[in-house]
Structure 1
Amino acid sequence: MPAPLDLDQLQTFIAIADSGSFTKAADEVHRTQSAVSMQMRRLEERIGKELFVKEGRTNRLTENGERLLTYARRLIRLNREVLAAFDDASLEGSIRIGTPDDYADRFLPEIMARFARSNPRVELSVTCEPTINLQEQIKRGQLDIAIVTHDSDRGTSEVVRREPLLWVTSANHSIYKEEVLPIAVGRTTCMWRRAACDMLDSMGRDYRILFTSWSATVIIAAVLSGQAVSILPECALRPGMRVLGEADGFGLLPDVRIGIMRGHSSHPELVDALARHISESLDNISLPQADETGQIDFHGSGYGRSKRVRSAQLLPGW
């Protein structure tokens, strides 16, 4: 039976990959540079592949190194979760988290499961509100942390994920071909609404706002029923939708930046722990990807940042 991988070596490997330097990684893991070099030689021997290639003063990962990095991060995270689950001195208390419902369905299951496994004694109180409301609740001390749509004009947030903002319509209707386009959007303060209206104005496309709501459920219902076209982030796509692209006469919209906002909590250690889980979970979420023909795969298992999806029909089964 092959010997298991050394977690210390994997931790050092991640530090090198993140910093691009053996020297910086040595400082981070509190080892000498020679010890770090020896660890990596042993790891390469254990894997049987070259993991780094030298480029000037930096160390770039090889293709095999990139493959290993994904597994290494997952193994280190799992190790932390196991230790936390059996730690009698683990974090305790309650924490209040907010998120728009656009993100809740896709992101919360992963975040809540990961956090609960690592911190079984912490109670999570979840609020679903639009970003603008969450920002106010953070300022008033009513939330400890929030997942928001990043808006540099309304407070600061730490951006942890980017996704394309997409035009969507019903796969079973042709409402997007109407001379005056009916659209379903958020309220007047919604950034996505402004982006959609600005794009339609620049295209010279006539439109009318048929439905207005803060609720993603309402917007999605309007789209799936064939009553209106809307804009949604990639994470909010549903079976029965069709993504509209430039071939359909719809211009590209700006990417959605998803960020974390922190409040002034009396339990900063809980906020830090949950923020870490949010960041790691969003980095690990798999979304439907488009192939060369524009078809979206709902069953793929790829991880990482989403890419822009072109015109395609969303099939049932996601």
Structure 2
Amino acid sequence: MPTMLDIDQLRTLVAIADTGSFTRAAEIVHKTQSAVSMQMKRLEERIGRELFERDGRTSRLNEDGERLLDYARRIVRLNGECVAALSDSDLTGRVRLGLPDDYVDRYLPEILATFARSNPRAEVTVVCEPTPHLVEAMRTGDLDLAIVTHTDGRGGSEIVRVEQLLWVTSARHCVHDEDPLPLATGRANCCWRHAAVSALGEVGRAYRTAYVSWNSTAVGAAVLAGLAVSILPESAVKSGMRILGARDGFPPLPTSKIGLIQAASGSNDLADALADQIRVNLDNLGSGRLVGLADAAE
């Protein structure tokens, strides 16, 4: 008989790839680390191939693991879409969703369009605020869901998307050659700003903060006008911007993780349904193929 793949095992594989850790993946799929390790062992037995290259306590996806990861993402996403499309429930009521303004243009239209088709009588209230404000709003019960920029130090969010951060400049100007380098960033507690400053410090590149705003449109305008360099995740790079790399003298940047926070108290079927839709829409195919898993269980 043909091998039948287990959706739960595939979902765990995706979580490992996106978080880069068996331990953090276990938190996302609500299992123990040993259970996650056992799932991966069963998955390898099911397909008859090893999925990880192991070197002591470090593991990474091998070539077969990378190939399966692409299929796993598609299968998990399609499963979610199928369940939503065939659901008999027509949920009503109001759900409050918060997200930063730079995520609105990139992700919200598809999320809302798909969710509305399955739940045409639902009311969605959208609040646009920076991540720190959204985290506080979730704490005080003013939101049911929040899409945030995840940081390991802040914690508390389920990682649903991973993207590479990139240096960007104007395609028509040479502001990136200036010394000190002018930067357009978020405010002082912005994690992308911290990543940029840290990377420049490691290579000894002088910089000055030229423009500061929580608003992504304002930061992007400074870049497009040739007034400053900034950092953006790959899906946020706009026409008229140029990506800077090692050949331009710019150091590598870490990845950006997008997290989902959901209120834990009470039962809210509408919030659960929207959370599932967010997971489906934000799940990306391109990131995390090679993951270093320093805490992989043996």
Q: How far is 1:67 from its partner?
A: 7.4
Aligned CA distance change for structure 1 residues 78 and 254 (closer, same or farther; 3 Å): closer
Which of 82, 85, 89 in structure 2 is aligned with 1:82? Answer: 85
User: Secondary structure of the residue that 2:251 maps to in structure 1?
Assistant: coil
Structure 1: gaps spanning 5 or more residues: 1-8, 21-51, 285-302, 309-318
Give the deviation of 1:56 after TM superposition.
Answer: 7.5
1:128 paired to 2:122: no
Looking at both structures, which has the greater relative contact order when contacts are Cα pairs under 8 Å and sequence separation is at least 6? 2
Partner amino acid for 1:82? A
Counterpart contact for 1:91–1:270, Cα < 8 Å: yes
| 1:240 aligned residue | 240
Which residues in structure 2 correspond to 1:82-161 (within 5 Å)? 82-84=85-87, 87=88, 89-161=89-161
Contact 2:159 2:259 in 1 (8 A): yes
Distance 1:217 1:306, change over 3 A: farther
Question: What is the CA deviation profile of residues 106-145 of structure 1, one whole-angstrom value per residue up to 9, with x for unaligned ones?
Answer: 1111211221112222111111111011111111111111
Query: Is contact 2:99–2:131 with CA below 8 Å preserved after alignment?
Result: yes
Q: Tell me how many residue pairs correspond in the alignment.
A: 247
| Aligned counterpart, 1:254 | 254
CA pair 168-54 structure 1, distance change in 2 beyond 3 A: same
Cross-structure match for 2:27: none
Whether the aligned pair in 2 keeps the contact of 1:186 and 1:213 (CA below 8 Å) is yes
- Partner of 1:209: helix, strand, or coil? strand
- Give the Cα separation in 1 of the matches to 2:3 and 2:275: 23
Q: 1:220-299 residue pairs with structure 2 within 5 A?
A: 220-264=220-264, 266-284=266-284
- Residue 141 to residue 280, structure 1, CA distance change in 2 (3 Å): same
Alpha-carbon spacing, 1:151–1:68, altered in 2? closer, same or farther (3 Å): closer
Q: Which protein is bigger by CA-based radius of gyration? A: 1
Q: Which residue type is aligned with residue 130 of structure 2?
A: P
Structure 2 letter corresponding to 1:160? V
**Residue aligned with 1:187, SS:** coil
Cα separation, 2, equivalents of 1:138 and 1:168: 32
Q: Which amino acid aligns with 2:287?
A: R
Q: Distance in 1 between matches of 2:120 and 2:250?
A: 47
Segment drifting more, 212-221 vs 187-196: 187-196
Give the letter aligned to residue 305 of structure 1.
S
Contact 2:101–2:130 under 8 Å retained in 1: yes
Contact 1:144-1:265 at 8 Å conserved across structures: no
Cα distance in 2 between the residues matched to 1:259 and 1:53: 31
Give the Cα separation in 2 of the matches to 1:151 and 1:183.
Answer: 22
Letter in 1 for 2:146: A
CA distance in 2, matches of 1:16, 1:269: 25
Counterpart for residue 26 of structure 2 = none
Aligned partners of 1:53 and 1:62 also within 8 Å? no
Shift of 1:53: 3.9
1:186/1:193 contact within 8 Å kept:
yes
Among 43, 48, 53, the alignment partner of 1:54 is 48
Distance 1:283 1:11 in 2: 23
TM-score of the two chains, using structure 2 as the length reference: 0.73
Q: CA RMSD in A?
A: 3.1
Shift of 1:61: 7.8
CA distance in 2, matches of 1:257, 1:67: 19
Q: 1:19 to 1:177 in 2, by over 3 A?
A: closer
Tell me the TM-score normalised to structure 1 length: 0.69
Q: 1:10 to 1:131 in 2, by over 3 A?
A: farther
**What secondary structure does 2:242 align onto?**
strand
